[in-house]
Amino acid sequence: MLKGNAVIGQSGGPTSVINSSLAGVIDAAAGFPAIDNIYGMRYGIEGFMKEWLIDLGRQPQHIIKGLRKTPSSALGSSRHKLVDKDFPLILDVLKKYNIRYFFMIGGNDTMDTINRLENYCRDKKYEFIGTGIPKTVDNDLYGTDHTPGFASAARSNILNVMQAGVLARDMQKVDRFVVYQTIGRDAGWLGLATALAAKKESDAPHLIYAPEHVFDRDRFLSDVENCINDYGFVSVVCGEGLKYADGSPVSQSGTKDKFSNIEFGAMGGASVGLNLHGMIANEFGFRGEFQITESLIMSDMARASGLDLEEAYKCGVSAVDITAAGETGYMVSIKRVSDSPYRVEYSKVPLSDVAVKARPVPPEYFNDKGNFASDKFLEYMAPLAGELPEFSELEDIKPGKNK
């Protein structure tokens, strides 16, 4: 068994539960005899190359415990994309600190980082075990039923849309529509999850548009008109990654990040939500609202799912279990055993199966029109979202004689 030190980093966007995974790794590593010390890399792989390390094993226990209910990324994050010249420098730091166990919590780009580094170290004959812990609110990682962080971000979205829907219903004589934009560059999991906000047909949301389906302006406006005629108002949820048939983004953004991903938020130009708002206003002359949460749902501890927090922690523990077995080049995977009662198991998948790939929402999770969730998706999503509040609505009882 390899004897040496371990290091862990966080990468990409934060979540409400990523620090719970960090706590899981720290707690489990403390009981693994082959690990002498566990270090944290400040600001991901970018900070690691600069030797920005802290000793996690010497942190007070109340801080580690507190991480399990602390949002954002306690170690700091990075979106640095590795280039060839980085690898010799990283290897030098690994050797300097005798790091034999390497953990990173992140999404598909992070899994690519670990996979490439693990292959490089093997080629250089440096004994090294690299393990990935899944994280992304987008829920777009292959090889796992869902990702830690998704359930909490989805719950935050659902509650936003529920409350905004009540407001829109009651204010329909002033504002006839509301557009809610959620993150999700390549996959519509977060947007589709808001379907759970609707307890009956007239409840918000009425329409959900995801990147998995080509956006058609005329069909969209027809859907909007039908909903306004049926319900008096319309609630629209859209994913930031919507595209037209020619592949151009509805956001009209041309800015790309370091991984060549199109930036769909306000920093990249116009937004999908604003553009859809403009389409409705220009076509019908209605007044309406737009709501864009951006990264707020990624770090919403007030609405975090208890299930999500627990599963994130167990993913951290499972990562050390994989490492203890001497296996390298894997990401922890959550396997769903049953929906009712909800039960999962923890397994592993090769990093190469996950790296730089985005898992779309399966076609069967959409309705026939592609503008709302199917019953099958609602069954998948219900245990992850948890219990939702019940709001009252006045009955339309007309004045009459007192009894």
Taking only the tens place, the pLDDT of each residue in 247-279 is 999 987 444 555 555 554 444 446 899 999 999
Strand order in the sheet with 4-10: 53-55, 35-41, 4-10, 99-106, 129-134, 330-339, 342-350
pLDDT per residue over 26-66, tens digit each? 999 999 999 999 999 999 999 999 999 999 999 999 999 99
Q: Across residues 195-200, what is the average pLDDT?
A: 97
pLDDT at 230 over 70: yes
User: Could you tell me which residues come within 8 angstroms of residue 236 by beta carbon, excluding any fewer than 6 positions away?
Assistant: 177, 178, 179, 180, 205, 206, 207, 208, 209, 224, 276, 280
- Binned at pLDDT 50, 70 and 90, residue 232 comes out as very high
Is 315:331 a contact under the CB 8 Å cutoff?
no
The CA-CA-CA angle for residues 66, 71, 75, to 5°, reads 80
Domain boundaries, the chain: 4-148+302-353, 152-297+360-385
What is the number of residues in the chain? 403
Judging by beta carbons within 10 Å of its beta carbon (0-12, 13-18, 19+), is residue 201 exposed, middle or buried? exposed
Active-site choice (27, 86, 109, 138): 138
The single residue listed with the structure tokens 């690519």 is: 112
The single residue listed with the structure tokens 């960090």 is: 22
CATH number of 152-297+360-385: 3.40.50.460
What pLDDT does 97 receive?
98
Closest C-alpha to 273, from 242, 306, 244: 242
Whether 138 is catalytic is yes
pLDDT per residue over 72-84, tens digit each? 999 999 988 899 9
Task: Identify the helix (H) or strand (E) that includes residue 54.
Answer: strand 53-55
Q: Report the C-alpha gap between 158 and 153 in whole angstroms.
A: 9
pLDDT at 385 over 80: yes
What pLDDT does 236 receive?
98
What pLDDT does 254 receive?
46
pLDDT top residue among 22 and 255: 22
Do 4-148+302-353 and 152-297+360-385 share a fold? yes
Q: Across residues 389-399, what is the average pLDDT?
A: 92
What pLDDT does 257 receive?
56
Q: Which of 78-87, 101-110, 394-403 has the lowest mean pLDDT?
A: 394-403
Q: Report the C-alpha gap between 264 and 298 in whole angstroms.
A: 16
Task: Identify the helix (H) or strand (E) that includes residue 177.
Answer: strand 177-182
Architecture of domain 4-148+302-353 in this structure: 3-Layer(aba) Sandwich (3.40)
Q: Across residues 178-194, what is the average pLDDT?
A: 95
